[in-house]
Amino acid sequence: MGEFDLIARYFTRPATKAALGVGDDCALLQPTPGTQLAISCDMLVEGRHFFADVDPFALGHKALAVNLSDLAACGATPLAFTLALALPRADEAWLEAFSRGLLGLADAHGCELIGGDTTQGPLNICITVFGEVPVVDGKSQALLRSGARDGDDIYVSGTLGDARLALEALRGTLILPPALLAQTRQRLEQPTPRVALGQALRGVASAALDLSDGLLGDLQHILQASGVGATLDTAIASNLIAVHTHPALETGIIPSEKQLEYVLAGGDDYELAFTAPASAREAVRTASQQAGTPVTRIGRIEAERGLRLVDANGQPVPNTFSSFDHFA
Amino acid sequence: MGEFDLIARYFTRPATKAALGVGDDCALLQPTPGTQLAISCDMLVEGRHFFADVDPFALGHKALAVNLSDLAACGATPLAFTLALALPRADEAWLEAFSRGLLGLADAHGCELIGGDTTQGPLNICITVFGEVPVVDGKSQALLRSGARDGDDIYVSGTLGDARLALEALRGTLILPPALLAQTRQRLEQPTPRVALGQALRGVASAALDLSDGLLGDLQHILQASGVGATLDTAIASNLIAVHTHPALETGIIPSEKQLEYVLAGGDDYELAFTAPASAREAVRTASQQAGTPVTRIGRIEAERGLRLVDANGQPVPNTFSSFDHFA
């Protein structure tokens, strides 16, 4: 199968939102008047972001999910994406499953594949995604990292640390009961981008980002961009792991200090962390309900720089957790 | 050097055109009212699109040039781009030269780096580029592949086959005199995207694309999209190689049948091929002069499907040239 057959068979569908889709030198997109275009780009590499034997359906899903997660963090409505794909060889079964996972999630979010590139090379998936954000009275409604203010509450969506738990099990550093492995592996391999929550938080949250490298490291980006500090409650955070009520955690399969580490610095969560003034608690609750996504208040923005951890009694907890860095 | 230091040092500059540039979850772009956004995406892989020891400055240039060439083919005005980069390691000297080559060409075209991703992995460069195309009276001014009509002239810009000549020399299949190698290697490693010509051809050309895989193969895309055929004059085409007056061609260093093959199916030319009605010859000449880019009329669109080659006397020339396919 040649390059053009491959594109035609697995990645070409009629354009619906775009003025022109796959098949010319460029795709053409006409944004809705009065909106800004939100753009993000993520590259996934075999051996670093996924294992060589990962289910291609799940990989197709995840490759788009991590990009939609960036749109969610900005409060953008998904519109379209491009896909560049380096493949060691044109494996039809792999491509069929990959495109099914990819386009299934794309359809669920009305996000159209409008162009891209295919080439031979070590497996590499690069997606650039486009969304729309309204501009109201000349002011962009995009959620940025820079809007957190002293006294704001800090929230996270969903659960944290599950993906890391699965990763450790797949790496062989701990053994999970089969049902627990399946549950956490789903979180690792097919994360759910919080697109509806991001949109519902427009005009409510003061700052937001998505969690990919781990809460502590990612939250620093909000603190730095906003010029503030924060205190997080580790007692609340520790229970954010989806499996915190699972017997495995009570029987010592997962040491309790690891549980907190996975929540705070596990990585691959693709949840949203956001801040909002205390006066907006009811609005946050409403946004959470509208989106059908639970959120948990886990700390507070403070004027004093730095990120502090406290236990249930407000006593300091040493921060010995390190975030993921691709070149550290 | 960590991932965020790397981004900050080599790839972050203040946003000028974008509402928000590098450093948040998404970049924000506000297209000019009354325009369409043209979007293209190209991925470059070591060992396939460039040699491991290529000059990183030239590579930075080329990675953006091949994308700008797609915008040129649509007649779009460059606006911004995202860069995703997989690197085996964070090599500062390499990154410094790469970013200088990349951003130098970007600045020359007013094309702003607004976001991207960096990760560790086999060297892979994925750029998605954004340009603007006017919409006049509800009609997009973008040049498409589908507009060629029976009787239209076929043109190519600049020269063809030079990049392939350099590639063959670097592969060791022929030996070029040093000055000729330097000249053709410049064309291979630092192609010039025909951005000004593309814009000047809006409203003049009936169809256009950029030449990356070789004239014969790429021209088929126009023929298929437009539902037409074509005849090309190989006597004119053969002289399109930049070095056709070079003594090397007269002394048999480059066999004459190879010369024609490199022009017709060499690849990596990044020139424009376009069609225009015979009534637009003066307008094409004016566009060429405005852009400072020579163009050559090399054939004609015909209703009869297929691509025919003829010699100076109009006699058929067998088409034994094959185009490049990443998975053939």
Query: Is B213 assigned to a binding site?
Result: yes
Question: Measured between CA atoms, how close is B59 to chain A, in angstroms?
Answer: 17
pLDDT per residue as tens digits for the range B295-304 = 999 999 999 9
Q: Do A233 and A271 belong together in one domain? A: yes
Which candidate in B24, B71, B218 is best for mutational testing of the A interface (most A CBs within 10 A)? B24
Listed residues B90, B111, B140: the one ending a domain: B140
Residue B86's contacts (CB-CB under 8 Å, 6 or more residues apart) are A43, A45, A124, B118, B119, B120, B121, B122, B123, B124, B125
Are A200 and A270 a contacting pair, CB within 8 Å?
A: no
CB contact under 8 A, A24 and B115: no
Per-residue pLDDT, averaged over A145-152, amounts to 95
Distance of CA A134 to the CA centre of its chain: 22
Q: What CA dihedral angle connects B296, B297, B299 and B305, to 10 degrees?
A: 90
Where is the binding site, in residues of A?
25, 40, 42, 49, 70, 116-117, 145, 210, 212-213, 268, 324
pLDDT per residue as tens digits for the range B164-197 = 999 999 888 888 888 888 888 998 999 999 999 9
Residue A86 lies in a domain: yes
Confidence of residue A227 (pLDDT cuts 50, 70, 90): very high
Reported ipTM: the value is: 0.86
Are B321 and B265 a contacting pair, CB within 8 Å?
A: yes
Residue A169 lies in a domain: yes
CB contact under 8 A, A26 and B142: yes
CATH number, position A135: 3.30.1330.10
- Higher pLDDT: B181 or A72? It is A72
Chain A neighbors of B206, CB-CB under 8 A: none
Q: Do A157 and A306 belong together in one domain? A: yes
Q: In what order do the strands lie in the sheet with B207-210?
A: B207-210, B272-276, B153-157, B295-302, B229-233, B306-310
Confidence of residue B243 (pLDDT cuts 50, 70, 90): low
Chain B neighbors of A10, CB-CB under 8 A: none
CB contact under 8 A, A121 and B124: yes
- Angstrom distance (rounded) from CA A113 to CA A20: 11
Residue B9 lies in a domain: yes
CA B37, A137, A75: angle at the middle one, nearest 5? 60
Residue A318 lies in a domain: no
Which range is least confidently modeled, A192-196, A275-279, B246-250?
B246-250
Question: Measured between CA atoms, how close is A83 to chain B, in angstroms?
Answer: 8
Chain B neighbors of A85, CB-CB under 8 A: 43
Domain of residue B258 covers 153-310
Listed residues B81, B112, B140: the one ending a domain: B140
Q: Which amino acid is at B326?
A: H
Residue B94 tokens read as 């390499």
pLDDT > 90: what percent of chain A?
Answer: 60
Chain A neighbors of B28, CB-CB under 8 A: 36-39, 74, 133, 140, 142
Per-residue pLDDT, averaged over B195-215, amounts to 96
- How many structural domains does chain A have? 2
CB contact under 8 A, B26 and A142: yes
pLDDT for residue A29: 86
Per-residue pLDDT, averaged over A121-144, amounts to 93
Chain B neighbors of A73, CB-CB under 8 A: 25-26
CATH number, position A287: 3.90.650.10
Residue A324 lies in a domain: no
A–B interface: beta-carbon pairs under 8 A: 232
**Which residue, among A73, A37, A89, A99, has the nearest Cα to A156 in the 3D structure?**
A73
Per-residue pLDDT, averaged over A205-211, amounts to 96
Q: What is the DSSP string of B1-14?
A: --HHHHHHHHH---
Which of A122, A135, A328 lies nearest to residue B2, judging by beta carbons? Answer: A328
The DSSP code for A279 is G
Which range is least confidently modeled, A1-5, A175-179, A218-222, B182-186?
A1-5
Which of A19, A86, A325 lies nearest to residue B45, judging by beta carbons? Answer: A86
Q: Is A138 on the interface with B (CB under 8 A)?
A: no
Where is the binding site for ATP, in residues of A?
116-117, 145, 212
Which candidate in A9, A25, A36 is best for mutational testing of the B interface (most B CBs within 10 A)? A25
Chain A neighbors of B2, CB-CB under 8 A: 325, 327-328
Residue B185 tokens read as 């290697």
pLDDT for residue A1: 60
The pair phi, psi for residue A251, each rounded to 5°, is -100, 10
Measured between alpha carbons, how far is residue A74 from residues A77, A78, A132, A281 in Å? 9, 11, 10, 20
Residue B122 tokens read as 């086999």
**Which residue, among A222, A62, A328, has the nearest Cα to B24 in the 3D structure?**
A222
Residue A237 lies in a domain: yes
**Paired sense of beta strands A35-45 and B27-29, if any:** antiparallel
CB contact under 8 A, A45 and B130: no
Q: Do B292 and B188 belong together in one domain? A: yes
Within 142-181 of A, beta carbons closer than 8 Å to B belong to 142, 144-146
pLDDT at A126 over 90: yes
Are A242 and A159 a contacting pair, CB within 8 Å?
A: yes
Q: Do B169 and B231 belong together in one domain? A: yes
- C-alpha gyration radius of chain A: 20
Which candidate in B20, B26, B274 is best for mutational testing of the A interface (most A CBs within 10 A)? B26
Confidence of residue A49 (pLDDT cuts 50, 70, 90): confident
Q: Which amino acid is at B121?
A: G
pLDDT per residue as tens digits for the range A74-114 = 999 999 999 999 999 888 899 999 999 999 999 999 999 99
Listed residues B78, B107, B140: the one ending a domain: B140
Q: Is A52 on the interface with B (CB under 8 A)?
A: no
- C-alpha gyration radius of chain B: 20
pLDDT at A117 over 50: yes
Q: Do A160 and A133 belong together in one domain? A: no
Q: Do A126 and A175 belong together in one domain? A: no
pLDDT for residue B328: 45
Q: What is the DSSP string of A166-234?
A: HHHHHHTSS---HHHHHHHHHHHHS----HHHHHHTTTT-SEEEE-SS-HHHHHHHHHHHHT-EEEEEH
Are B16 and A31 a contacting pair, CB within 8 Å?
A: no
Q: Do A157 and A54 belong together in one domain? A: no
Which range is least confidently modeled, A201-210, A229-238, B253-262?
B253-262
Which of B24, B71, B135 lies nearest to residue A144, judging by beta carbons? Answer: B24
pLDDT > 70: what percent of chain B?
Answer: 90
Q: Do A175 and A228 belong together in one domain? A: yes
Which range is least confidently modeled, A51-55, A172-176, A213-217, B247-251?
B247-251
Residue B316 lies in a domain: no
Distance of CA B315 to the CA centre of its chain: 31
pLDDT per residue as tens digits for the range B124-135 = 999 999 999 999
Size (chain B), residues: 328
Residue A205's contacts (CB-CB under 8 Å, 6 or more residues apart) are A75, A143, A147, A274, A275, A276, A280, A284
Neighbours of A2 (CB within 10 A): 13
Q: Do A157 and A289 belong together in one domain? A: yes
pLDDT for residue A148: 96
pLDDT for residue A323: 56
Neighbours of A139 (CB within 10 A): 8
Q: Do B284 and B182 belong together in one domain? A: yes
Q: Do B161 and B306 belong together in one domain? A: yes
Question: Measured between CA atoms, how close is A38 to chain B, in angstroms?
Answer: 5
Beta bridge partners of residue B208, listed in sequence order: B274
> At A18, which helix (H) or strand (E)?
none
Residue A136 lies in a domain: yes
pLDDT for residue A328: 45
**Which residue, among A72, A150, A147, has the nearest Cα to A111 in the 3D structure?**
A72
pLDDT at B63 over 90: yes
Q: Do B302 and B254 belong together in one domain? A: yes
Which of B128, B135, B328 lies nearest to residue A2, judging by beta carbons? Answer: B328
Per-residue pLDDT, averaged over B77-97, amounts to 92
